[in-house]
Each structure stands twice: as structure tokens, then as C-alpha cells.
Amino acid sequence: MEVCDACGATYFLIGGNALGAVRHHGFIPWDDDMDLGILSKDYDKFINLFREKYEDKYWIHNEDTANHCSSITHICRKNSVYRGIGQVGKSECGIPVEINKVENVPDNPVLRLLHGILCNGMGLLMSCRYFYENRKTTLVLTKNNIKAKFIFSIKIEIGWATQILSVQSLNKFTQYCCGLCKNENSKYVNIPRGRKHYFGDMYLRSEFIPPTQVEFEGHMWNVPANPYRYLSILYGDYMTIPTKSNQDRHSLCELVFPEED
């Protein structure tokens, strides 16, 4: 938040953190990650300043990282370990904050449809490549679930077929496709690599920008302009506490907290 304010980047708590801010005034009790959105036009200046100020303390993994098999930027705390499926065998896997780009959406409905198909298609290829790169761990985790194993086996086969492209080139092209619309006054914005992908994570610009502030863990931080509308689109009845079996959690293999500075 400090870096965003310093460089004039517009940021938002999104996903579970926006939900936590509204429903719990902080983290959801069983939450285990941090999700932020940053306007696409502000992303580069944010990353450049963050790297300048904090490269000694954090790793930045994005489309410029050779083997970062995700279209979401991860800012990871050095001297810590957060090892999920995608970090098995990797060294720079610190506790992350995930940064999602908030993109413009074409006003023309035909172009919007084509753009959505393109973005979702590239997102699917990135997902398949992710599961191929982490196929051993994925198949172990799904060995007792026949349906999941079948689905992931298909994704792994598609990922195998994309080996002709490097992870980095595939990631860069995905980012390029998601950012094709440069209209900063478009009626809609979206988070194409978000929870519900291109069409499900789409919002009226007037309900998303400019951000408003709510309390989160004792701080006043940005959320979408109409957080109630945003959360309704993303979660439906967002104020109802889900049962334990329906609570979102990540598969984690190893967790080591950093020593205090």
C-alpha cells in the first residue's frame, strides 16, 4: 500500500480479502493468502518502484520470471517458505501476496465476446501448462478422486502439447491478450485471471473505480467503489458463513515463517 501510494497506483483488496474486510473487518479466520488488484495501467510503475525499494526483502515473480507458471504476480517474502503444488522443487517460494491486474473491457459486445474467448483460452492453456509442470504432485494429490484425476490428466496432456512454447513466452502472451483493450473509460472492467475469469469477474467501471476504503486489520484500505455489489457478483450471499467443507483452502506442503526483523 505504501508503494502504491508513493507511485500513484490505484489498488484494491479483492476476492477473499475484500470479503474479509466487509464481513470480518480483517482476514477471514480460515483464509491463507492475500489478494490485491492493481489497475493495469499502473502495474509497471508499481513493480518498478517496489523492486527499487524492496528487492532485498522480497522476490517478485511475474511474466518476466523464467519459470513462473502463473498469470498472477506473486510478491514473496524472502527468508520464508510457502510451498504449494507449484513450488515443489523450487527455492524462491516465500509467503506471497498475489497481484491481479484490473483490465479494461471492450465496449463493443462482439469485441468483448472475442476478447473474453481469447483471454479464457489463454488462461486455460496457462492452467494446463501449470498442471503439466507440476504433474507428479497433482496426480499424487488426486489419486483417491477418480473424477479429479481424470480432469487433471486431460489438462496435463494439453500442457504437454504446449511444451514447444516456454513458460515465460506463454505467460507474456497471456498478459498481452488480457491487456489488449486500452480504453481507460470503458463501461466495464474485469479481472480476467480472477476467481470467475473474464465474464464472471466483470464489473461496471462506476461500481469499481474509484476505490472506497473500509477497515481491514486496523487499517483503512481500498476496496472496489461499491464493495457490496462487487461481493454479490463474486460470491452471491456473501454474508453467510460457509460450512467448513465449503471453505476455500490451498494445498500446502511446507510453511516456514520468517524470523522477525
Using one digit for the tens of pLDDT, what is the confidence trace for 26-55? 999 999 889 999 999 999 999 999 999 999
pLDDT of residue 148: 87
SS3 at position 38: strand
Q: Are 66 and 168 in contact (CB under 8 A)?
A: yes
213, three cell numbers? 476504503
pLDDT of residue 260: 65
Q: Are strands 96-105 and 35-39 parallel, antiparallel or unpaired?
A: parallel
**251 vs 55: CA distance, rounded Å:** 27
Q: What is the pLDDT of residues 75-111, one digit of tens each?
A: 999 999 998 877 777 788 899 999 999 999 999 999 9
Low-confidence residues of the chain: pLDDT under 70: 260-261
Q: Are strands 73-77 and 58-61 parallel, antiparallel or unpaired?
A: antiparallel
pLDDT of residue 249: 81
pLDDT of residue 141: 78
Q: Which residues pair with 255 in a beta bridge?
A: 82
Q: Rounded to the nearest 5°, which phi and psi values hold at 68?
A: -80, 100
Domain boundaries defined on the chain: 2-107+182-256
- Which residue carries 507511485 as its cell? 7
Tell me the helix, strand and coil percentages in the chain, rounded to 5. 45, 20, 35
pTM score? 0.92
Indicate left, alpha or beta for 8 from its phi (over 0: left) and psi (-120 to 50: alpha): left
Give me the CATH code for the 2-107+182-256 domain, please.
3.30.460
